[in-house]
Amino acid sequence: MRELPKELPPPVKPRLDRLKRGDEEIKLITQVRSYELITPLFGGGVNTGEADHITVARGTEIRGQLRFWWRACRGGCFNGNLAEMRKAEDKLWGAASTEKKPMPSQVVVILLPVHGGEAKQPFEIVADPVDNRTGRPKPKLKANESVALPYAAFPLQPSEEEIRAGGIGLKTKTVRNKVRFTLKITYPDKQQQEVEAALWAWETFGGVGARTRRGFGALKLVSVDGEPITQPRATRIEAKIRRGLEKHVVSGTWPDGVPHLSLNPRIKVTGRRAEPKAAWEYLVMRLRDFRQSRTRESPRQPGRSRWPEPDEIRRLTGCRCGRHAVPLSDIGKFPRAAFGLPVVFHFKDRDAGDPYNTYLTCGEEDHDRLASPLILRPLACKDGAVGMAVVLEGTGVGMVPGGLVLEKEDEPEKSWPVEAMIDANEAQNIQPLNGEPDVLQAFLNRI
């Protein structure tokens, strides 16, 4: 384990105003931007899934985030030409250099001393909190922790194998609360429009660490060059976002497969909540209830899924529990792939004849993941917080390389090509969709 630094880093050198490159004099803009995280920081450290207690954020990570959001705002300038977009991206944000062809970034990102916040273990391993007779170790969310955590970041919960090996008292993964950091960013004034677009999008839709699309590491801009930032009231948040889109997002054609924002996005902003935690929990719980819609609402006996995937997996594998002999759906599709890949399907009645775990993934081995196009996160406002859900364009299950494939965990050599896209008639027969064939839009309609 690394030791904490004994001294703080030396003071930052005075800002540069000009830079000479050959005969060209480049005017530079330098800003100092301070942030705080309004949701827990998840991941980003040395150990997978855990934050680093010394360096909770890194300048290289933040520049990578800015690079992504630059593409999301400005990638439509190149008429769909991927090579031209990458050329401009590398020129601004840097690329792998050679002796003959240096490609340094024009944007210098320096992370000033960070307040690492507080480490929290959201889960503890205790005797079965529901059935005390068994004494089996089970994960339990600690008191006063966010109920959004289990669903938004399932890796925080140890696996069954880890629980069996560690037993009651097993140390679980941590997140960090109340993280604050300051960023010094320097860039040429000719690139001001490009960099400001990336900063705005990152601050509005992005975050720090892992699982930012599910609201972890959500940012709040506190000050710029020492001047405090006043947040708008909840009723004005959506209008402010739309003004930002008009200012920073170009009207053009993005290269295929590049996630991006739209001037007219699919977006939903919730009503005001007292604090970011409450707004975040509302969004995540709505997503959970939508994706896990079942025939009964009892947590002990939730009933069968209202989605078509379980019965289609039973049909493909030829494995079916006697209690589920009569299928509820005859639609042979996997619509929930719209939320990202891979998807793991776990049947609790495996010993009674239902299938063992199956995985829904991309058909091409080099593209085994599809990042969710759906972003959920809270936004701080003057009178509390609101929740925001927005769908990125340019990516989705309809563009998966090699199509979709269902694989068996116990027999990896067995797989089946499957489909996710559904039509209006099929949507009428999938209760959670309420007749809407666009799965992501159907979710937004529920918020």
Residue range 369-394, pLDDT digits in tens: 889 999 999 999 999 999 999 999 99
Task: Tell me what the pLDDT averaged over the chain comes to.
Answer: 86
Q: Is residue 11 part of a domain?
A: no
pLDDT of residue 243: 97
Shared-domain flag, residues 196 and 87: yes
Q: Is residue 3 part of a domain?
A: no
Tokens of 330: 């005859």
Distance CA 444, CA 239 (A): 18
Q: Is residue 248 part of a domain?
A: no
Q: Is residue 1 part of a domain?
A: no
For 37, how many CA atoms within 13 A lie in the half-sphere containing its CB? 27
Angle at CA of residue 332, ends 328 and 334, nearest 5° = 100
Q: Is residue 271 part of a domain?
A: no
Shared-domain flag, residues 284 and 361: yes
pLDDT tens for the 447 residues of the chain, in order: 444 444 444 444 434 466 555 556 789 999 999 999 999 998 876 666 667 767 777 888 899 999 999 999 999 999 999 999 999 999 999 987 776 777 889 999 998 877 888 888 878 788 776 655 666 787 777 777 777 777 787 777 777 777 777 777 777 778 888 999 999 999 999 999 999 999 999 999 999 998 999 999 999 999 999 999 999 999 999 999 999 999 999 999 999 999 999 999 999 999 999 999 999 999 999 999 999 998 876 666 778 899 999 999 999 999 888 888 899 999 999 999 999 999 999 888 877 888 888 999 987 776 778 899 999 999 999 999 999 999 999 988 877 877 899 998 878 778 899 999 999 999 999 999 999 999 999 999 999
- Give me the domain span that covers residue 143: 122-173
Shared-domain flag, residues 226 and 345: no
Shared-domain flag, residues 377 and 291: yes
Shared-domain flag, residues 148 and 190: no
Shared-domain flag, residues 414 and 309: yes
Q: What is the pTM of this model?
A: 0.88
Distance CA 79, CA 341 (A): 28
Query: Domain count of the chain?
Result: 3
pLDDT of residue 157: 76
pLDDT of residue 54: 72
pLDDT of residue 58: 82
Q: Is residue 259 part of a domain?
A: no
Shared-domain flag, residues 305 and 290: yes
pLDDT of residue 132: 56
Shared-domain flag, residues 290 and 378: yes
Shared-domain flag, residues 126 and 182: no
Shared-domain flag, residues 34 and 97: yes
pLDDT of residue 67: 97
pLDDT of residue 30: 96
Last residue of a domain, one of 130, 150, 173: 173
Q: Is residue 437 part of a domain?
A: yes
Shared-domain flag, residues 233 and 320: no
Shared-domain flag, residues 302 and 200: no
Could you give the strand order of the β-sheet that contains 266-269, starting from the edge strand earlier in sequence?
A: 266-269, 384-391, 374-381
Q: Is residue 265 part of a domain?
A: no
Q: What CATH number does the domain containing 222 carry? A: 3.30.70
